[in-house]
Structure 1
Amino acid sequence: MNKGIRFTDEFKQDAVAQVVERGYAVREVAERLGISTKSLYTWKAQFAKSPRVRSEVAEQAAEIKRLNRELARMTEERAILKKGANCPPLVRGQCRARTSRECLSEVRVY
């Protein structure tokens, strides 16, 4: 029906209230508002949860996102450190390798 249209939470809550509180049929409300019955059932399930539960779910999603970013950063740091482990031992702060290409841990700073 209405592809790409985003509805506000207030609109969704009003549509769900017509079904839950006023007792109208889902099909009737969906036709009147010009939305699909699937959307209305989805919103009904979404707003059936208490606001406290919804906020907890949002907080958990934010925490998961933060942890995934941190994991990606740590994985990258670990890979960098692993590359540096291939270098021969240091002697007086210098790599034993004859060239910088032989010593993978050497980093040039410009």
Structure 2
Amino acid sequence: MGKGIRYSDEFKQEAVNQVVVHGYSVADVAARLDISTKSLYGWMKSFSKPAKQRKEDEDLRVEVARLKRELKRAQQERDILKEAVVDSICQRNTLFN
């Protein structure tokens, strides 16, 4: 079974159709396509959602990823500013001693 392989939506949909439409067992389809049954069950669950819901789910995943990147950048900026404040205070204390 392939690990780390990204399958196209068309491939996933065809695999799901073999189970749902043509009546093949999940184990047979998975073995024939060299994929895990877990992947196939996941695709079946995913494709059972309406297309609009799948699009909304993907949009949310993209937004979460963007927000995580933005948060990381803001945390880095905060850390830089903290260091600058500490350095500034230390320099001021050195001047007056």
- What TM-score does the superposition give when structure 2 sets the normalisation length? 0.71
* Counterpart-to-counterpart distance in 2, 1:76 and 1:64: 18
* Identical-residue share of aligned pairs (%): 50
Where structure 2 has 5 or more consecutive residues not aligned to the other structure, the ranges are none
Q: Which deviates more, 5-14 or 24-33?
A: 24-33
1:45 CA drift (Å)? 1.5
What count of residue pairs does the alignment treat as equivalent?
A: 92
Shift of 1:6: 3.8
Unaligned runs of 5+ in 1: 89-94, 99-110
Cα gap change, 1:35 to 1:72, in 2 (>3 Å): closer
CA spacing shift, 1:96–1:13, aligned 2, 3 Å: same
Per the alignment, residue 18 of structure 1 pairs with: 18
Structure 1 residues 66-103: Cα deviation after superposition (integer angstroms, max 9, x where no partner): 11122122212222222232324xxxxxx6744xxxxx
Distance between the aligned counterparts of 1:41 and 1:61, measured in 2?
20
1:39 corresponds in structure 2 to 39
Task: Determine helix, strand or coil for the equivalent of 2:60.
Answer: helix
Secondary structure in 2 aligned to 1:85? helix
* Residues 1-110 of structure 1 mapped to structure 2, 5 A cutoff: 1-86=1-86, 87-88=88-89, 97-98=94-95
* Residues 77 and 7 of structure 1: CA distance in aligned 2, closer, same or farther (over 3 Å): closer
Q: Give the AA of the match of 1:57.
A: D
Query: Per residue, is there more helix in 1 or in 2?
Result: 2
Q: 1:44 is aligned with what amino acid?
A: M
Structure with the bigger RCO (C-alpha within 8 Å, sep 6+) is: 2
| Superposition CA RMSD, Å | 2.4
* TM-score normalised per structure 1: 0.64
Q: Which amino acid in structure 2 is aligned with residue 55 of structure 1?
A: K
